[in-house]
Every structure is written in structure tokens, then in C-alpha cells.
Copies of this chain bind each other. A is one copy, B any other.
Amino acid sequence: MSKAKRLLDILLFASAKKKFTAQEIADEFRISVRTVHRYILDLSDMGLPVYAEQGRNGGYTVLSSKMLPPILFTEEEAVAIFFAFQSLSYYRDLPFDAEISSVAQKLYRSLQVDAKGKVDKVCSYIAFWNPKRTIDTPFLKDTLEAAIENKNIHMHYESKGGTKTKHIRPIGVYAHDGLWYLPAFDYTKQKVLLYRIDRILSIISTEENKDEYMNLEQWFGSYEIKQPVRLHVQLTQEGVRQCKSVPSLEGIVIIHEDGTGYIDSPIDKGEIDFSMPLFYRLGPHARVIEPQELIDGMRKHAEGILMMYQDN
């Protein structure tokens, strides 16, 4: 076996074990202790942060966490990694931020000058815009950890009615529009609710669970129509164009040959409130035929606006 291969094996073994003696490595790989000392010296020269403690109970200790075998990337792949990092730059709080910047440093340093330019360009010509929140999310890492490790959380939470103590089982965390959310099963209310992680004031304690619970993907996929209501709307060309841009309606818009169209599809009753602003905005470009509730809502809103500005 080549020296390089053996060094790699020892690198992996050592960084997995963290603390070990030369004798252990020698036994494991059937080589002499002297050679192990020489190998450790090589690895140390190559940048593995390992230090030795002498004397009885001494041995080698690898400082950093487990290392991966060296990986060869192409320049384009490096650019792609920077591109992915760019998508995170509009978040104030992120898990793994330390790791992300160390990866960015390692990569950037090993790029040649022209590739550095490429990366700089990608970073200045592409953005993933988010409202750049000024809100702190100090418990992001803790909640993520609890979700991953399948732990329950007791926490103080700032809700509409003031500070409350909650006992929840997290499903996962997700970011949307610059904020971090935590869908979780609430043991008091006995249903899944959505929390904002920036509103967690403190985590009191966590507790292990033995069984697995739903994960995020499953939760996202579990949308169902509970109270079906017929939505029937006629759309002008412009109405079609705008409805096509709305995630929840996108799939149910039917387009005529002349570019106009209509919607005629069951939706959940809870979505009426959500879709009213859209149809209100569209005005003459969307004539709602059903449900009456939506029409009433829009009229009421229009009356409210007129009332509000009657003096102007």
C-alpha cells in the first residue's frame, strides 16, 4: 500500500478517534511505532492540528474535528459553492456561520487570480434578496439542534398576549422572507403551531424523545383542504398574468386562447382571506363569481378605504 494511502487512512483514523497513542496506530495498521512517529510528523507538517502529551497517559490528540479526505474541486465547482453562500448573505443569523466563512477562506485562498475575479463577479452580480432583518435570532442554533436530535423544548415565548411558557416538540426550522420559523407540536394546545424563532425569549430545558416524529418535508407536504370552497373567477389577460405569479393559484389558472382565463377550483376556506388582497388589487382584471364571502370581503374592504379617506 502506498504511503499516501496509508497516511490518509491514519488521518481518518486519527481524526475520528481524536486521542490515541502511537502504539495503537502501530497495532491497527501493523507498522512499527517508529514509523507511526514519522507519519504523525508528516501529517502535522501537512496541517493536521495534532499535539503530543508526553509521559504516562500521554499520547496524541487531534484538535480539530474529523477531517475528510482531500477533495479535488474544479474552479467552476468552487464558484458554485460561493454562489450558494451568496444565497445566505441576506440572513442576519445562520447556523454554521463559522464553518461557512472558514470554507470560503480555504477555497478563496486556493483559487488562482482569474478565478478570484470570477468569484468576485458572481458575488457582485447575483443576489438573493431578503428583507435584511435587524431582528436577532439568538436561539436559532438551539432550536435546530433540538429538532435534529428529536428533543422537546420548554421555553419562554413572546406571543400576542404577552410572555408564555410553552412545551413543544419541534418539527424543524425554516427561513422565509428573512425570518426563521419553527413549526412544532404544542403539548398544551394539542396541535401543530408555527413559532417565530426570534420571539423565543429563553429555552428552559430540553428532553429526549425516543420515537421519531414528523420532519419538515413531511410537514410541508401535509397541506390538505379541510373545508373546500369553490373559487370561481374570470380573468383578463393581465389577471391571468398576475395569478400565474401567485404560488397557490398558479396551478389552477386555466388560460383561453386569447390570453384571458379563469379559475374554477376548490380551495380551502382558510385561503379566502389570503387571496382577497390579490383579487382586490386586480380590480377589473378579476371578476370573482364565487364564493360570496370573498366578494363581501372585498366590498367591505373597499368601503373601509372610502370611509377612511372620505375627508380627503
* Partner-B contacts on A (CB < 8 A): 4, 12, 16, 46-48, 64-81, 83-85, 87-88, 95-96, 99-100, 102-103, 106-107, 110-112, 115, 121-122, 124-135, 144, 147-148, 158, 160, 171-179, 181, 215-217, 220, 238, 241, 244-247, 250-251, 277, 280-281, 283-284, 287-288, 292, 295, 298-299, 301-306, 308-309, 312
Taking A79-B96, A84-B85 as contacts, is the C-beta distance between A126 and B103 under 8 angstroms?
no
Instruction: List residues of chain B with CB within 8 A of the CB of A125.
Output: 144, 147-148, 171-173, 215-216
A177, A288, A303: most-surrounded residue (chain B CB, <10 A): A177
Q: In the complex the two chains form, is A124's CB within 8 Å of B71's CB? A: no
Q: Which of B70, B76, B88, B299 contacts A71 (CB 8 A)?
A: B70
Number of copies of this chain in the oligomer? Answer: 2
Q: Can you offer 27 A-B residue contacts whose CB atoms are under 8 A?
A: A67-B72, A68-B72, A68-B74, A68-B107, A70-B72, A71-B106, A73-B103, A74-B99, A80-B100, A83-B96, A125-B172, A125-B215, A127-B216, A127-B220, A128-B175, A129-B247, A131-B245, A131-B246, A132-B250, A133-B250, A135-B250, A178-B247, A280-B280, A284-B308, A298-B305, A301-B302, A302-B303
